[in-house]
Structure 1
């Protein structure tokens, strides 16, 4: 017996040892297989570390489990900066036998613990989740995984879906999910448990769900052959609202077919109340409630671009009541009977019927009803009646730090049809009266007092001409300052108005009472305005029939915010209004650190404010003693040394501006006596006779800055440059540094008339590869010395007078094309020798020049004299001209200097002195020029290809930056998820006790 036990124990120990050892014995094979399958299946960047991979046979015996920690997938361009998936820990279960012996491994389970998924679809439909190889490539590769999954577990996953093509956004947080089933079958049941935070669901700019907790527990009948998913039973909850869901959703083709029924389950009034924004807070559990609630409905039909399923949704609340803890008054007698239904496949025929709606705010009742027959003719029948004592509101709702008083009366009814073609509107009788309003914030000692509003909307005939909106009185007082006004609008067709506003608002005091986060605003606005006119006259441009008169002033105003950190301070501004224009008679301000004075007028302002796609026109005169442009060209909130960034210009402003500034700071330039005229029209800024003193000379420019395509902003200028310092131009202008590096060792001044155009990068600097230009460069007198080029020429020729060149009355025709500065052949005097120079400088800093010179043999010194003594029978003397062709290549600071067609200066002298016939000398230089042009054409072709590639790359980078605004919304959603979930207890991941053996 003892022996038998020992044998059994020994066998068990052997099997146990084998089970422990198998994963590690075959680890390299398993990991190699995983790596191979990923490479064959995924067309993206997969990030994982073999050292973060562990294997175990015990987690889901008899399967082998592979656990990956810190695993992620990021896309290929244009999604290279987006992480599609990041997983803290991912466990994948495989059938061990299939891994070791089968052609394709069988995947049996997935367990994800902690991570984030970011799905992004661009406006053109490109999606970052499209990371599989095209089907033809997959067909040529080996088979990948077999799916035999019977368990999926997900814990603590954040999911963001950002579809910019559909303008749809969804952010889900803290997702918990478990699903079990035979996923290999065509028909199977899938029990699913799901819980998550719905942080945000928005479509076309409208938010539909925000900060709601969703839970679901159901079984889905899956029919993969027909792509049909049926729900037989289950529990679903949104916050505290619980409901059932029955029926199916099918996707047989492009259409979505559905037949779903839903109804509330074991709900009370408190359940539906949990969906009301602002109520489902930490104090919700302590909320006292009573009442019943019934919710049910169905959706049945086809959903596609032309069809919407029929539906019928009903909500009934009876005898509802809620009362916040520690507050004395409830909202009671809440009764709601609402139905939304559509029996057709056209959403326009939806009928909404709120047959009953009433509630009591403390002792103040509100009641109403609404019947909307459809969304085509808008037949309506409804009313709303109620009275609110605002002082009681603070005893019903928690309004911390705020005291309210006053009585608000509302009595409104509407019945009839709205038809803009037949000029029919419903009969309307609506009145709102707020008397003795009072608002006091704990942040400010004085209240807004005597707040009164008397408004009515009346139409008794159903005719648009009888429509009347009468805001007969509105106003309030704040300390010793008051504002009041009125406005009356008649005739829904003509939209005749007659109104006035008079008084003073201290915006600093208003901000103290109603603060705006990260915003500071101070100062006073004083207005005395009267306006009378017709919107019909605005549409027809009959501005002489409009009568808007009065004046408005701003005093000691200051504004700064996160979006405008530089701040604007208006010391004093005054404007008077006439029917034709707004005259800006005074404007003394400081924008950022720059003082600014302005005067002028604005016209077409009524059209601009009252109609869409209208243009505000104006003429302004702007003056500044010192304007720092750099402060307005950095991204908000960044450091002072941030790069400049592209400025988008409004397309609906047509301004002509006369500008005068004693000093302007732009990038590293200090511009003096800046004057000129600018026109902003259709999003393009044009400059006319803009002059400035800079770099020791004068610049006059005409041209345009066109940022309408933010991914490829353009400029096109004509410059007239007079006596600019060559040294300062090299120091200040990057374009000069690259395309004219010779300026580094030049002293003197230059002038030029240059047409110059190209593209700007996102840092507002020219993209050198895009530059085109043409002009004449004039140098009256300059000295060129101590340069690498001169040293190279000296070393090559052994001439002793080449370390300095003096230039006088130099005129150089230059052409810039595709970022390459081309110098046409030009006759110069280099040192004391006649020379012809031609070549180019590329945007990459490369140089390629040919210098053809005629140098007297005697200038070569002893080496020429020795040769002359050995050559007999010739007429060669020390004055015989030697044709020297020098190639300059490489870069300016690291030049490559060589003789064209010769190995050394000695062989050049020998051949030239023997060939005393001048035509032979000319043939030598013609041949050198021909060889140079052939090499130059090849170089230009190569640089043009690179220029196109660089411009394309710059455009893609610009497109990426342009999308950053939308990306910020995604980052904000991620931060919201972090903030909301950071305070929640997160279940700890199960410890992975498997050691990684090497």
Structure 2
């Protein structure tokens, strides 16, 4: 008995001593290793962190996050990587690093296996070029070797408490804000294949995409398991349960990086959820509405994104969305009646993210409101020119009851809506198929009011009937017996009848005033901004085929449309079109323009003329709009028609960023218009043209100018030309210009293309003439692609002084003939042609002082030279020196002789990327070899015949001229 007590006492003593030793160890260990660990952490930070790191003090303890030994960095701030080096990435009250005790005592390096962030602000920023601030971890040299003075990250746990996170990616236009973030992630993160287990709770989550807020201050709970393979870059979302506010969501699937894209399978669903919980996750603009609205019912919803995303193969994933609502009930607190018995069963499928393959299956939509109801079914496949449709819609609704029950913010509907529509069959524009259909639509005493304009469109009366018994375009008809509304105390009335959609017979009566600017404000259509008024009093009656076949006597189109201050801004042009005033009158197939005054930017337009086939153009897809006009203008600035720069201001930095846009001007293909042009001034790039006149036509996507007369650099010229875009990235052009006399110096200084075609004229002064024809391709900067240029013509030199002309100056230097320097040229005709980046110059003669010169050869747009030259010596040029000129225009090489190799041609590749404009290339300078000529030539020609006989052989008098031009 005694021995048992002694044993117990002994065990207790040993345990107590062990505990005391353990406590002593845990208390003393931090004091022993604090400096060591701090130094190693600092060494690691200095080696591997690109951002500036600051913290106030450190504390090593077992008790901060017991039982882990942690080094706590107080008041830590880590700045981001470029271009955000001066902005904080992480700012935290405390950051604790969990230390592996065994690695600290027995290992050669200290391992950090846990990270704790308390009261942190995490600020992740990505600019519009995709440059992020979180690239602060850098690898130096051999990553397999680590200094013993450093610590190693071998994370198994990340814990974040009561923190905030901002993620703002300007390139993707996404902004996410988290407040009250509590996160716990565990896994063996140092392995290439591991499970990441996550538990997270967020007090407030906000999500904004493209400046539209979709989530605001939503509560989120998450319990996630993700399998990660860092070798194959594969992510498997095994178990992911989320709760957004009160809405439970299950998320699963995988995401793989593959060689040329991504493979994905995302599945998101909520099952048997309360309709109230679904509404709690609505975008923030409905926040107050949700609070004041009572909802009941059950909901199932799912969203799937499955497939490959491979741009090079035009592969995109398939999207599936489905939602079911049962026993739905919605009533705003101020509504007299609820929407009840709400049933919805909708499935959609979008293969390859291609809207033309859209599939919609609306098995049912039904609800009641105060004994009024709506029921609908819809099954459709395809979208656009080909669709398969099966639908039934029936309504007996007072829209005021619906609007009152829902109380949708800033949106009101009113009036009695009765509809009964049945349609079944194929819609195919090519096969001229139209679903069998029979339907009526009646809206009485209707109103529409939105947040975009304070006053409603009211007194809406619409009575329409659709009928097609056969399933073909030819038997379809639409009858609008009554169409009326009042807006801003101005009434508008419309009645219309359309029969036989294959050959539309129309009868349209319209009378009233439309304040189109304010109407567009009501509906707020993105990409379009319109202002002004339109007054109409028209009666249009006829048949499409009568207009196209010229049976104008069968048409009865009459009436007037007047417009005032119509300003239209679309996404297709950088500036708005403004119609100051204009009157349009209908007569048979003509829509006549009278006193049309318009503006576009700094350009002004005055037009009189007519459109032909206008009604058919608006009724049918493939009709051509014809017309003929007289167009007068004091200024046409064509530069304002091109998108060149998009300016954005980043609100966070206040920096102005210019995004250069490259695109050629597009010409519509459905126009056949002619204009007799008379403009006092026209501006194109850096060219100012005065008093331009001629015939401009727009036909089949091509703009042409014929019999053009113009004044350019104060010289009269004749011009014909054309322009035709090939998509948005390149365009074909062709022009022929003839000018009797113009100033070569002004041409070089003021016309960009002249500088590119005649770079040697930089310092020339005088008068020349030109008769030249050239065609080619413009790149997406509206600049010529030089290898594409083809053409030819004549340059007539009237009287020109070639100042600092390097070619002749080098010849003068090598021959010691000073009279060849800065030559005066007159009455010379130079013929040339252009192809494959080469200008081929035909043989021509020139007289410079007492010398008779002859030139021919090649010059490339890259600046390379291959010229043959003969310097005919005084007095008659019978004896001359053959010279070949190679090198570049900046540094020509002069040698005796006749033979030289042709320049290498650059053949234009029609399939080349249009942005790869081959306009000019930089040529490296080469040294000029100096042939000794002046020692072989003297002023006395007879005494030097033998010296130069190797190059030029004297001949009898009768044959001298023949040899001299060899």
Indicate yes or no: 2:563 matched with 1:552. no
Q: Secondary structure at the match of 2:509?
A: strand
Indicate yes or no: 2:744 matched with 1:743. no
Q: Secondary structure at the match of 1:711?
A: coil
Q: In structure 1, what is the equivalent of residue 702 of structure 2? A: 684
Q: In structure 2, what is the equivalent of residue 296 of structure 1? A: 300
CA contact (8 A) 2:448 2:457 kept: yes
Q: In structure 2, what is the equivalent of residue 413 of structure 1? A: 420
Change (3 A) 1:471 1:272: farther
Query: CA–CA distance in 1 between the matches of 2:933 and 2:255?
Result: 87
Q: In structure 2, what is the equivalent of residue 215 of structure 1? A: 220
CA contact (8 A) 1:23 1:64 kept: no
Q: In structure 2, what is the equivalent of residue 174 of structure 1? A: 177
CA contact (8 A) 2:53 2:78 kept: no
Query: CA–CA distance in 2 between the matches of 1:856 and 1:713?
Result: 52
Q: In structure 2, what is the equivalent of residue 88 of structure 1? A: 89
Change (3 A) 1:102 1:752: farther
Change (3 A) 1:925 1:19: farther
Give matches, 1:768-779, under 5 Å.
771-779=789-797
Give matches, 1:515-664, under 5 Å.
523-532=532-541, 547=555, 549-559=557-567, 561=569, 567-578=576-587, 580-633=589-642, 635=644, 646-664=664-682
Change (3 A) 1:700 1:419: closer
Query: CA–CA distance in 1 between the matches of 2:669 and 2:528?
Result: 27
Q: In structure 2, what is the equivalent of residue 986 of structure 1? A: none
Change (3 A) 1:414 1:903: closer
CA contact (8 A) 1:430 1:458 kept: yes
CA contact (8 A) 1:72 1:87 kept: no
Shift of 1:486: 0.8
1:698 to 716, 722, 733: 716
1:171-198 Cα distance to aligned partner (Å, 9 max, x none): 4623677643335486746224376544
CA contact (8 A) 1:113 1:157 kept: yes
Indicate yes or no: 2:936 matched with 1:908. yes
Residue segments in structure 2 that go unaligned for 5+ positions in a row: 1-16, 136-141, 147-151, 309-314, 382-386, 648-655, 898-928, 955-966
Q: In structure 2, what is the equivalent of residue 917 of structure 1? A: 945
Query: CA–CA distance in 2 between the matches of 1:460 and 1:624?
Result: 50
Shift of 1:517: 9.5
Indicate yes or no: 2:744 matched with 1:726. yes
Q: In structure 1, what is the equivalent of residue 397 of structure 2? A: 386
The range that moved more, 426-435 or 495-504, is 426-435
Q: In structure 2, what is the equivalent of residue 354 of structure 1? A: 364
Indicate yes or no: 2:716 matched with 1:716. no
Residue segments in structure 1 that go unaligned for 5+ positions in a row: 35-47, 74-82, 122-126, 132-140, 163-168, 860-878, 927-998
Q: Secondary structure at the match of 1:71?
A: coil
CA contact (8 A) 1:351 1:372 kept: yes
Q: In structure 1, what is the equivalent of residue 40 of structure 2? A: 22
Shift of 1:408: 0.7
1:450-473 Cα distance to aligned partner (Å, 9 max, x none): 734131336697977986643222
Give matches, 1:357-506, under 5 Å.
357-359=367-369, 366-372=372-378, 379-389=390-400, 396=407, 398-399=409-410, 408-414=415-421, 417-418=424-425, 428-435=438-445, 451-457=459-465, 469-477=478-486, 482-489=491-498, 497-506=506-515
CA contact (8 A) 1:356 1:368 kept: yes
Shift of 1:409: 0.7
Change (3 A) 1:508 1:667: same
1:339 to 332, 340, 345: 345
Query: CA–CA distance in 2 between the matches of 1:757 and 1:716?
Result: 4
CA contact (8 A) 2:156 2:186 kept: yes
Shift of 1:667: 3.5
Change (3 A) 1:815 1:922: farther
Query: CA–CA distance in 1 between the matches of 2:687 and 2:319?
Result: 65
Query: CA–CA distance in 2 between the matches of 1:914 and 1:56?
Result: 101
Q: Secondary structure at the match of 1:921?
A: coil
Change (3 A) 1:101 1:830: farther
Q: In structure 2, what is the equivalent of residue 316 of structure 1? A: 326
Q: In structure 1, what is the equivalent of residue 250 of structure 2? A: 245
Change (3 A) 1:357 1:775: same
Change (3 A) 1:160 1:457: farther
Q: Secondary structure at the match of 1:754?
A: strand
Query: CA–CA distance in 2 between the matches of 1:765 and 1:49?
Result: 43
CA contact (8 A) 2:666 2:725 kept: yes
Q: In structure 2, what is the equivalent of residue 263 of structure 1? A: 271
Change (3 A) 1:539 1:197: farther
Q: In structure 1, what is the equivalent of residue 778 of structure 2? A: 760
| More helix per residue | 1
1:193 to 179, 200, 203: 200
Shift of 1:648: 2.2
RMSD: 6.1
1:615-648 Cα distance to aligned partner (Å, 9 max, x none): 43333332224433344446478799x9997422
1:105-163 Cα distance to aligned partner (Å, 9 max, x none): 99987999322468999xxxxx99xx9xxxxxxxxx9989999653468963547699x
1:28-77 Cα distance to aligned partner (Å, 9 max, x none): 7x54xx9xxxxxxxxxxxxx56889999997996799999632369xxxx
Change (3 A) 1:336 1:172: farther
Between the two proteins, the alignment pairs up a number of residues equal to 827
Query: CA–CA distance in 1 between the matches of 2:23 and 2:408?
Result: 76
1:382-420 Cα distance to aligned partner (Å, 9 max, x none): 4222114499859945549xxx8x951112234574456
Shift of 1:723: 1.2
Change (3 A) 1:424 1:886: closer
CA contact (8 A) 2:507 2:541 kept: yes
Shift of 1:549: 0.8
Change (3 A) 1:677 1:453: same
Q: In structure 1, what is the equivalent of residue 902 of structure 2? A: none
Change (3 A) 1:804 1:350: closer
Query: CA–CA distance in 2 between the matches of 1:532 and 1:577?
Result: 11
Change (3 A) 1:185 1:497: same
Query: CA–CA distance in 2 between the matches of 1:27 and 1:301?
Result: 41
Query: CA–CA distance in 2 between the matches of 1:301 and 1:701?
Result: 57
Query: CA–CA distance in 2 between the matches of 1:213 and 1:331?
Result: 30
1:212-242 Cα distance to aligned partner (Å, 9 max, x none): 95835123264979989566573422xx451
Give matches, 1:880-891, under 5 Å.
883=881, 885=883, 891=889
CA contact (8 A) 2:330 2:340 kept: yes
Q: In structure 1, what is the equivalent of residue 852 of structure 2? A: 834
Q: Secondary structure at the match of 2:745?
A: helix
Change (3 A) 1:631 1:201: closer
Shift of 1:501: 0.7
The range that moved more, 613-622 or 881-890, is 881-890
Change (3 A) 1:262 1:250: farther
Q: Secondary structure at the match of 1:766?
A: coil
Query: CA–CA distance in 2 between the matches of 1:773 and 1:485?
Result: 57
Change (3 A) 1:284 1:306: closer
CA contact (8 A) 1:620 1:658 kept: yes
The range that moved more, 16-25 or 423-432, is 423-432
Shift of 1:321: 1.8
Q: Secondary structure at the match of 1:650?
A: coil
Q: Secondary structure at the match of 2:937?
A: helix
Relative CO higher for 1 or 2, CA cutoff 8 Å, sep ≥ 6? Answer: 1
1:773-811 Cα distance to aligned partner (Å, 9 max, x none): 422211233344566666666665554545563323201
Q: Using structure 2 for the length normalisation, give the TM-score.
A: 0.68
CA contact (8 A) 2:111 2:154 kept: no
